[in-house]
Amino acid sequence: MRQYNFTEARKNFASILETAKQEGIICIYKRNGEAYYLTPAKIKKSPLDVDGINLNLTSDQIVSIVRESRERNYF
């Protein structure tokens, strides 16, 4: 974990954020002994956000499949 004093952090804030992104966590400390840890936030993704698959179907084929499924009798 890298450590930076407050003055360094203020002057080089963008590069310090990039370092935190790459390394996971950094420490910024002040002269009075206070320390702060900076870590990147985790990106929240929807559980419904999944990669699609390419079935190589045309729109006509998809419509035909949907129509066929609607015409089925399940009883």
Q: Which amino acid is at 58?
A: T
Q: Which residues contact 45 (CB under 8 A, 6 or more apart)?
A: none
* Percent of the chain predicted with pLDDT > 70: 99
- What's this model's pTM, rounded to 2 decimal places? 0.55
C-alpha closest to that of 6 among 31, 23, 41, 26: 31
Give the pLDDT confidence of 28-60 residue by residue, as tens digits: 999 999 999 999 998 888 888 888 899 999 999
Exposed / middle / buried, residue 28 (Cβ in 10 Å: 0-12, 13-18, 19+) = buried
pLDDT for residue 72 is more than 90:
no
Return left, alpha or beta for 33; rule: phi > 0 is left, psi -120 to 50 is alpha, else beta. Answer: left
For domain 1-42, the CATH architecture is 3-Layer(aba) Sandwich (3.40)
| Per-domain residue ranges of the chain | 1-42
